[in-house]
A and B are shown apart, each in its own frame.
Chain A
Amino acid sequence: RKEVEQDPGPFNVPEGATVAFNCTYSNSASQSFFWYRQDCRKEPKLLMSVYSSGNEDGRFTAQLNRASQYISLLIRDSKLSDSATYLCVVNLGGAYNFNKFYFGSGTKLNVKP
């Protein structure tokens, strides 16, 4: 079983739409959670951390449900520039695991004019 599971998509949405991505993780000891964005043939870039209380950064809202081991990302008012692959990432945490990330396979988003 994969550590992190995501729907690969693609999600094809018009500009201005609201779109939601979900992922599940298998290790209940996971301590920290992130969404990364990856453009074609580029490195992953941190989009936002995910907290149990839910957090928002502009048009982006992330949510964590520890009981269900489920992470979500909501994008409102989609822009053409949001087209990318969104990677769900979990980390076991601790000083010796800070950079030991488990990635989902990514969900591809295509925003159309």
Chain B
Amino acid sequence: ETGVTQSPTHLIKTRGQQVTLRCSSQSGHNTVSWYQQALGQGPQFIFQYYREEENGRGNFPPRFSGLQFPNYSSELNVNALELDDSALYLCASSGFFGQGTRLTVV
């Protein structure tokens, strides 16, 4: 067990909708990062949270946003979904990844 859990595992949304993905990690993992993995590609860094503040961001537009909570859980929010947002979304803490949320935008 990696101690990193994501929900939901699968999700289907319509273009233009908003989505919230969740990640929880064991106590003590005060840094969490989110990644997007398109089919056939390596994961791409979206952003990192450290002690509830964004602390580094990759090349993703502002419609990708996040939160980290005092209990070390985290959310990734994506507004105005586009077809290209279809991917596996991964959160990571201390080098360990959750099982991911597979998002399909139709």
Contact of A101 among B43, B99, B102 (CB under 8 A): B43
Pair A45/B45 contact, Cβ less than 8 Å: no
- A45 contact set on B, CB distance < 8 A: 97
Q: Which of B12-20, B75-83, B87-95 lies at the interface with chain A? A: B87-95
Interface of A is mostly: loop
Contact check, B98 vs A43: say whether CB atoms are below 8 A apart: yes
A46 close to B95 (CB less than 8 A): yes
Shortest distance from the beta carbon of B82 to any chain A beta carbon, whole Å? 22
Contact partners of B35 in chain A: CB under 8 A: 101, 103
Cβ of B44 under 8 Å from chain A: yes
Q: With A and B bound together, what is the CA distance between A46 and B95 in angstroms?
A: 8
Do B50 and A96 touch across chains, with their CB atoms under 8 A apart? yes
| A59 close to chain B: CB less than 8 A | no
Complex Cα gap A46–B31 (Å): 17
Known A4-B42, A46-B95, A99-B95; further 11 A-B contacts with Cβ < 8 A? A43-B97, A43-B100, A44-B43, A87-B42, A95-B50, A96-B56, A98-B95, A99-B93, A100-B33, A100-B56, A103-B42
Instruction: Spell out A's residues near B (CB within 8 Å).
Output: 4, 34, 41-46, 87, 95-106
7 tightest A-B contacts by CB?
A103-B42, A99-B33, A43-B97, A105-B42, A103-B43, A43-B100, A43-B99
